[in-house]
């Protein structure tokens, strides 16, 4: 059956002389792979350039084989400002790479789709470091890997004094239960409370949250290692846009 859906271009490569194969993240079908036959013959059915950092409306034919035929593409939004600012472009590319590398095919998640759309839009005016950590914290919750920042993962005790985070356990561990846990990292109360606040509130409220530079460093330390351990996604740990990261990681 023929379908119509909105989608971001995550990845693209040329196929034979005139065609294009892409990976897209759509609102209803999740990640899909599609071929645009005759894309480089300037068919009128493809009015979008299908660049990275574009949102498009597609018409396609879902089937059991991995690559679907896409017959129409129309540009909906062009996040062209991302191509003019290198730090913002790196954050935008990291969001799309994360979807490309970690999302399974054909597993629609409208909330993740909306989160990507909101974050790419907010990169226009907001600080890219904040957009990145808010995206990552929300993404982990929405993809079912929500790190626990309120109570101990083992005994369920609510914690309000000392905070030790275990990447392997996926959250906080109290000082009693932590005796047998090998990868504990002490985090500050301020960082812990801010992470919890971001998990539990809408983007409009998070906008007003002030986070210190040292808290941001704690966020990226936890998020980078968490994504590496649970998703085998090391782009954040290896990225150079946040120069403090490699240094923090080597101290671990
Ligand atoms: Zn405990």
| One domain for residues 116 and 175 | no
Task: Identify whether 36 is part of a domain.
Answer: yes
- Identify which of 18, 6, 2, 20 has the alpha carbon closest to the alpha carbon of residue 74: 6
How many A from CA of 191 to the centre of ligand 1? 20
Distance CA 110, CA 89 (A): 24
Share of the chain above pLDDT 90, in %: 87
Domain boundary among 63, 91, 125: 125
CA-to-CA separations, 125 to 76, 85, 180, in angstroms, rounded: 20, 12, 45
132, part of any domain: no
Q: For position 167, what pLDDT does the model report?
A: 95
pLDDT score for 19: 97
In terms of domains, do 120 and 154 share one?
no
Residues 158, 43 within the same domain: no
Residue 133 falls inside a structural domain:
no
User: By the 8 A CB rule, do 190 and 121 touch?
Assistant: no
159 shares its domain with 114: no
Residue 99 shares a structural domain with residue 169: no
Residues 114 and 177 in one domain: no
**What pLDDT does residue 241 have?**
55
Q: How far is the CA of 151 from the centre of ligand 1 (A)?
A: 8
Q: How confident is the model at residue 246 (pLDDT cuts 50, 70, 90)?
A: very low
Is residue 108 a part of any domain in this protein?
yes
pLDDT, tens digit (0-9, with 9 covering 90-100), for 15-67: 999 999 999 999 999 999 999 999 999 899 999 999 999 999 999 999 999 99
Report the interhelical angle of 86-102 vs 213-231 (nearest 10°). Answer: 30
In terms of domains, do 105 and 184 share one?
no
Residue 163 lies in a domain: yes
In contact, 133 and 219? CB cutoff 8 Å:
yes
pLDDT band at 243 (very low <50, low <70, confident <90, very high): low
Sequence-distant (≥ 6) Cβ neighbours of residue 185 within 8 angstroms: 164, 165, 166, 167, 221, 222, 252
Cα 196 to middle of ligand 1, angstroms? 18
Give the per-residue pLDDT at 48: 94
Q: In this model, does residue 245 exceed pLDDT 70?
A: no
Q: 150 C-alpha to center of ligand 1: Å?
A: 11
Residues 154, 101 share a domain: no
Same structural domain, 121 and 1: yes
Average pLDDT, rounded, for the chain: 93
Kindly give the pairing relationship between strand 67-78 and strand 54-61: antiparallel
Q: Are residues 151 and 112 in the same domain?
A: no
Question: What's the CA-to-centroid distance between 202 and ligand 1, angstroms?
Answer: 29
Task: Look at residue 130 and tell me if it is in a domain.
Answer: no
Domain boundary, last residue among 95, 125, 155 = 125
Q: Is residue 137 part of a domain?
A: no
Q: What total of structural domains would you count in the chain? A: 2
Query: What phi and psi, each to the nearest 5 degrees, are found at residue 8?
Result: -95, 150
Q: CATH number of the domain that 64 lies in?
A: 2.40.50.140
> Does 249 score more than 50 pLDDT?
no
- Alpha-helical (H) ranges within 157-207 are 189-200, 203-206
Instruction: State pLDDT tens for residues 171-210.
Output: 999 999 999 888 899 999 999 999 999 999 999 999 999 9
- Distance (angstroms) between ligand 1 centre and the Cα of 210 equals 30
Residues 119 and 2 in one domain: yes
137-151 tens-digit pLDDT: 999 999 999 999 999
Residue 168 alpha carbon to ligand 1 centre in Å: 15
Boundary-marking domain end, from 56, 90, 125: 125
Q: Are residues 121 and 154 in the same domain?
A: no
Does 218 reside within a domain? yes
Residue 237 is predicted with a pLDDT of 84
Domain that holds residue 224: 146-251
Q: How far is the CA of 177 from the centre of ligand 1 (A)?
A: 4
For residue 28, how far is the Cα from the chain centroid? 17
């Amino acid at each position: 059956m023929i379908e119509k859906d909105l989608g971001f271009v995550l990845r693209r490569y040329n196929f034979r002389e005139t065609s294009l194969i892409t990976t897209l993240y759509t609102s209803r079908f999740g990640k899909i792979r599609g071929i645009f036959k005759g894309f480089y013959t300037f068919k009128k059915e493809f009015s979008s350039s299908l660049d990275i950092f574009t949102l498009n409306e597609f018409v396609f034919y879902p089937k059991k084989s991995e690559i679907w035929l896409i017959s129409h593409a129309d540009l909906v939004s062009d996040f062209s400002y991302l191509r003019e600012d290198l730090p913002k472009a790196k954050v935008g590319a990291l969001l799309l790479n994360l979807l490309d590398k970690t999302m399974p095919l054909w597993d629609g998640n409208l909330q993740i789709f909306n989160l990507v759309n909101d974050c790419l839009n907010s990169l226009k005016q907001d600080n890219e470091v904040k957009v990145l950590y808010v995206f990552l914290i929300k993404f982990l919750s929405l993809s079912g890997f929500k790190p626990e920042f309120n109570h101990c993962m083992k005994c369920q005790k609510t914690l309000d004094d000392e905070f030790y985070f275990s990447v392997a356990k996926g959250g906080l561990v109290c000082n009693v239960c932590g005796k047998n846990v090998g990868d504990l990292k002490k985090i500050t109360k301020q960082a812990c409370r801010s992470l919890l606040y971001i998990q539990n509130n809408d983007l409009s409220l998070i906008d007003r949250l002030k986070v210190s530079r040292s808290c941001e460093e704690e966020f990226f330390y936890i998020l980078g290692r968490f994504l590496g351990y649970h998703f085998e996604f090391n782009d954040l740990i290896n990225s150079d846009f946040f120069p403090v990261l490699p240094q923090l990681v080597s101290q671990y």
